[in-house]
Amino acid sequence: MKTLIKNGTVMNPDTEFSRTADMVIEDGKIVTIGDASMVEADQVIDATGLLVVPGLVDIHVHFRDPGFPQKETIRSGSMAAAAGGFTSVVCMPNTKPAIDTVETLDYVLRTAKEQAAVKVYSSAAMTYGIKGEELTELKKLHQAGAVTFTDDGRTVMDPHLVYEAFRIAAELDVPISSHCEDHRLVSGGSLNRGVVSRQLGDPGIPALGEELIIARDILFAEETGARLHIQHVSTARGVQLIREAKARGVRVTGEGAPHHFSLTDEQALVSGTLAKVNPPLRTAQDVEAVIRGLADGTLDAIATDHAPHTLDEKSLPLAQAPFGLVGLETAVGLTFTCLVHRGKLSLMEAIAKLTVRPAHIMGLPAGKLQVGQAADITVINPVKEWIVDPDAFHSKSQNTPFKGMRLRGKTVLTMVDGNVVYNDL
């Protein structure tokens, strides 16, 4: 089977390559990037006016299997990924049971191999049951394929455990992904602590709770030499802490989530619990700081923190509804609308933050266009206007505060190993 993608703007951030070109794909691999207009192919995709980029990489998704198939399965999550243009994803371990043993990790990776439309990698929990009490067998989990250690959803508070985990991670050279939240400071709130939380009678989640743990984990990384990846950075001071740590050579990276560069806490007044996410949507200054962090390289990657929950759960009162929102199918639209089209991030840098940079953080064989390599390719229409319709999502869940919003920029075709897994051309 030979496929020709002709006349697209081919962009490969790894080499800063950007030019009008054709691509030929054969037996799942890229065989030509250049002029191939005369090539006879079984399948021809006309990419005139479209961007042809490496398959996107999301290093922060929740696929809920095992445990919560009503929210998402590996199959449905992977379909949402494909529809969003993501060809490689990293699953978080807060399933039930948690991904804290080799058996559960094997189950996830095996199910992904059998059922997923895209390449699914997995993290492993740092502590059993994500309870913050006893370290998992990090070395065995790494050998079994875990690409990062994290208790995402919770922060390990015991400094002895954290120290030990960082020490082992440094030895294995596996990144620790840190969900930063000092639970002793944030318990009970649902929204950013500020004007809106006070207005809604919510105790609020202070920015300081996130910043304390960012600072703590930076120090652990500095002390142990471990690689630290800060997840879903949402506050201005959090961005600044990472900026300063990078400047003095700490091995730290950071991710920004689309909802943190596009929405403020005021969204809760419009979307209610659909705008309840952890860390919370913050102030306009924080949003600006996340954008600046992405622009100056302090934040290396855009990651969705795709966190599906049923609308029944999201219909609960603010204090009881779960934290989280789905992100895979809106990420490209938000990145183009809020960052690229507003001139905050160059097109090349935006694509880099969705491909080669996150792949590099997690050591994934992804995020580049290279002859001889797997044909994981995403085609984006950078100016296509569309309205977010959760009913059209491929995810099992529709919990998004972006419903009804008009976005500019959309994934129109996704290819994994040369096979088209999503087509909206």
Ligand X SMILES: NC(=O)N[C@@H](CC(=O)O)C(=O)O
Which of 86-94, 133-141, 340-348, 361-369 is the region at the interface with Zn ion (rule: CB under 5 A)? Answer: 86-94
Among 58, 72, 152, 210, which residue interacts with Zn ion (rule: CB under 5 A)? 152
Q: Which residues form the interface with ligand X (CB under 6 A)?
A: 62, 94, 152-153, 179, 277-278, 305, 307, 322-324
Burial of 334 by CB count in 10 Å (0-12 exposed, 13-18 middle, 19+ buried)? buried
Please list every residue from 285 through 314 that binds Zn ion, using CB under 5 A: 305
Query: Tokens 């940079």, residue?
Result: 357
The answer to whether 296 is annotated as binding is: no
Binding partner of residue 254 among Zn ion, ligand X, none, CB under 5 to 8 Å per kind?
Answer: none
Alpha-carbon distances, residue 387 vs 96, 333, 392, 394, 408 (angstroms): 34, 10, 10, 15, 9
The answer to whether 309 is annotated as binding is: yes
Burial of 66 by CB count in 10 Å (0-12 exposed, 13-18 middle, 19+ buried)? middle
58 is catalytic: no
151 binds Zn ion (CB under 5 A): no
Which residue's CB is nearer to ligand X, number 213 or number 307?
307
Which residue's CB is nearer to ligand X, number 96 or number 110?
96
Binding partner of residue 273 among Zn ion, ligand X, none, CB under 5 to 8 Å per kind?
Answer: none
Pairing of β 119-122 and β 86-91 = parallel
Query: Tokens 């445990």, residue?
Result: 67
- Nearest to residue 305, comparing CAs of 179, 128, 403? 179
Binding partner of residue 101 among Zn ion, ligand X, none, CB under 5 to 8 Å per kind?
Answer: none
The answer to whether 173 is annotated as binding is: no
Binding partner of residue 324 among ligand X, Zn ion, none, CB under 5 to 8 Å per kind?
Answer: ligand X
Among 179, 229, 251, 276, which residue interacts with Zn ion (rule: CB under 5 A)? 179
Cα distance between residue 276 and residue 29, in whole Å: 42
Measured CA angle at 352 (ends 351, 355), to 5 deg: 85
Q: Tell me the closest approach of the beta carbon of residue 380 to ligand X, in angstroms.
A: 25
Query: Tokens 């949003």, residue?
Result: 287
Catalytic-labelled residue, pool 151, 286, 305, 376: 305
SS (H, E, C) 41-68: CCEEEECCCCEEEECEEEEEECCCCCCC
The answer to whether 64 is annotated as binding is: yes
Give the residue numbers marked as catalytic: 305
- What is the contact surface with Zn ion in residues (CB under 5 A)? 92, 152, 179, 305
Could you list the residues known to form a binding site, using ranges. Answer: 60, 62-64, 94, 152, 179, 232, 278, 305, 309, 323-324
